[in-house]
Chain A
Amino acid sequence: MNALASEIVRDTGAVSAADLARGGHFSGTIGDITTPDPRMVCREVNVWYGDKHAIKDVSLDIGNHQVVAMIGPSGCGKSTFLRCLNRMNDTIDGCRVRGSITLDGQEIYDKGLDPVPLRAQVGMVFQKPNPFPKSIYENVAYGARIHGLTNSKAELDALVETSLRKAGLWNEVKDRLDQPGTGLSGGQQQRLCIARTIAVSPEVILMDEPCSALDPIATAIIEELIDELREQYSIAIVTHSMQQAARVSQRTAYFHLGDLVEVGETTQVFTNPRHKLTEDYITGRFG
Chain B
Amino acid sequence: MNNPAPAASAPPPAPARRTIDIVNASLKRRYAREARFRFMGASAVFLGLLFVAVLFGDIVSKGYTAFAQTYIQVPVYFDPATLDPDGNRDPQTLANADYLGLVKASLRTLFPRVTGRPQQRELYALISAGAPQQIQTMVRQYPSVLGTTRDVWLIAGADVDMLVKGQIDRELPEADRRIKDSTLTLVDQLKTEGRIEQRFNTGFFTNGTSREPELAGIAGALAGTFYTLALTLLLSFPIGVGAALYLQEFAPKNRWTDLIEVNINNLAAVPSIVFGLLGLAVFINVFGVPRSTPLVGALVLALMTLPTIIIASRAALQSVPPSIREAALGVGASPLQTQFHHVLPLALPGIMTGAIIGMARALGESAPLLMIGMIAFIVDIPQGVTDSATVLPVQIYLWADSPERGFVERTSAAILVLLGFMVVMNLAAVLLRRRFERRW
Q: Does B334 contact A (CB under 8 A)?
A: yes
Task: Tell whether, in the assembled complex, residue B346 and residue A200 are in contact, meaning their CB atoms are under 8 Å apart.
Answer: no
B208-256 interface (Cβ within 8 A of A): 253
Q: Does B289 contact A (CB under 8 A)?
A: no
Stretch at the interface among B69-77, B260-268, B319-327: B319-327
Which A residue's beta carbon lies closest to that of B438? A133
Task: Tell whether, in the assembled complex, residue A197 and residue B439 are in contact, meaning their CB atoms are under 8 Å apart.
Answer: no
- Chain B residues whose CB sits within 8 angstroms of the CB of A197 once the complex forms: 330-331
Stretch at the interface among A24-32, A139-147, A232-240: A139-147
Task: Tell whether, in the assembled complex, residue A119 and residue B332 are in contact, meaning their CB atoms are under 8 Å apart.
Answer: yes
Q: Does A120 contact B (CB under 8 A)?
A: yes
Task: Tell whether, in the assembled complex, residue A86 and residue B330 are in contact, meaning their CB atoms are under 8 Å apart.
Answer: yes
Q: Does A253 contact B (CB under 8 A)?
A: no
- Chain A residues whose CB sits within 8 angstroms of the CB of B331 once the complex forms: 119-120, 123, 142-143, 146, 196-197, 199-200
- Chain B nearest CB, measured from A161 CB (Å): 18
- Chain B residues whose CB sits within 8 angstroms of the CB of A142 once the complex forms: 328, 331, 333, 341
Bound Cα distance A124, B324 (Å): 13
Q: Given A116-B334, A119-B331, A146-B337, are A91 and B253 also a contact pair (CB < 8 Å)?
A: no
Q: Does B287 contact A (CB under 8 A)?
A: no
Which B residue's beta carbon lies closest to that of A92? B322
- Chain A nearest CB, measured from B255 CB (Å): 14
Bound Cα distance A120, B327 (Å): 12
Q: Does B342 contact A (CB under 8 A)?
A: yes
Say which residue of A118, A130, A146, A199 sits within 8 Å of B327 (CB atoms): A130
- Chain B nearest CB, measured from A92 CB (Å): 10
- Chain B nearest CB, measured from A128 CB (Å): 6
- Chain A residues whose CB sits within 8 angstroms of the CB of B321 once the complex forms: 130
Bound Cα distance A116, B323 (Å): 17
Which B residue's beta carbon lies closest to that of A120? B332
Q: Does B440 contact A (CB under 8 A)?
A: yes
Bound Cα distance A86, B331 (Å): 10
Task: Tell whether, in the assembled complex, residue A126 and residue B330 are in contact, meaning their CB atoms are under 8 Å apart.
Answer: yes
Q: Does A4 contact B (CB under 8 A)?
A: no
Bound Cα distance A132, B346 (Å): 10
Task: Tell whether, in the assembled complex, residue A130 and residue B332 are in contact, meaning their CB atoms are under 8 Å apart.
Answer: no
Bound Cα distance A199, B333 (Å): 13
A174-189 interface (Cβ within 8 A of B): 182
Say which residue of B323, B325, B330 sits within 8 Å of A123 (CB atoms): B330
Task: Tell whether, in the assembled complex, residue A126 and residue B323 are in contact, meaning their CB atoms are under 8 Å apart.
Answer: yes
Task: Tell whether, in the assembled complex, residue A126 and residue B333 are in contact, meaning their CB atoms are under 8 Å apart.
Answer: no
- Chain A nearest CB, measured from B54 CB (Å): 45
- Chain A residues whose CB sits within 8 angstroms of the CB of B332 once the complex forms: 116-120, 143, 146-147, 200
A120-163 interface (Cβ within 8 A of B): 120, 123-126, 128, 130-133, 142-143, 146-147
Task: Tell whether, in the assembled complex, residue B440 and residue A93 are in contact, meaning their CB atoms are under 8 Å apart.
Answer: no
- Chain B nearest CB, measured from A222 CB (Å): 17
Q: Does A113 contact B (CB under 8 A)?
A: no
Q: Does B329 contact A (CB under 8 A)?
A: yes
Q: Given A132-B328, A193-B327, are A146 and B346 also a contact pair (CB < 8 Å)?
A: no
Q: Given A93-B253, A182-B439, A182-B440, are A130 and B326 also a contact pair (CB < 8 Å)?
A: yes
Q: Does A88 contact B (CB under 8 A)?
A: yes
Say which residue of B330, B438, B439, B440 sits within 8 Å of A119 (CB atoms): B330
Which B residue's beta carbon lies closest to that of A142? B331
- Chain B nearest CB, measured from A117 CB (Å): 7
Chain A, 103-115, contact with B by CB distance < 8 Å: what is the 0/1 string? 0000000000000
- Chain A residues whose CB sits within 8 angstroms of the CB of B323 once the complex forms: 126, 128, 130
Task: Tell whether, in the assembled complex, residue B327 and residue A116 are in contact, meaning their CB atoms are under 8 Å apart.
Answer: no
| Interface hub of A88, A91, A131 (most chain B Cβ within 10 A) | A91
| Interface hub of B326, B329, B331, B334 (most chain A Cβ within 10 A) | B331
A-B residue pairs, 6 tightest by C-beta? A120-B332, A143-B331, A130-B323, A124-B330, A119-B332, A130-B327
Pick 21 A–B contacts, CB within 8 A, sort by A: A88-B326, A88-B329, A91-B329, A93-B253, A119-B329, A119-B331, A123-B331, A124-B326, A124-B330, A128-B323, A130-B327, A131-B327, A132-B342, A133-B346, A142-B328, A143-B332, A146-B331, A146-B337, A196-B331, A197-B330, A200-B331
* Chain B interface residues toward A at CB < 8 A: 253, 321, 323-334, 337, 341-342, 346, 438-440
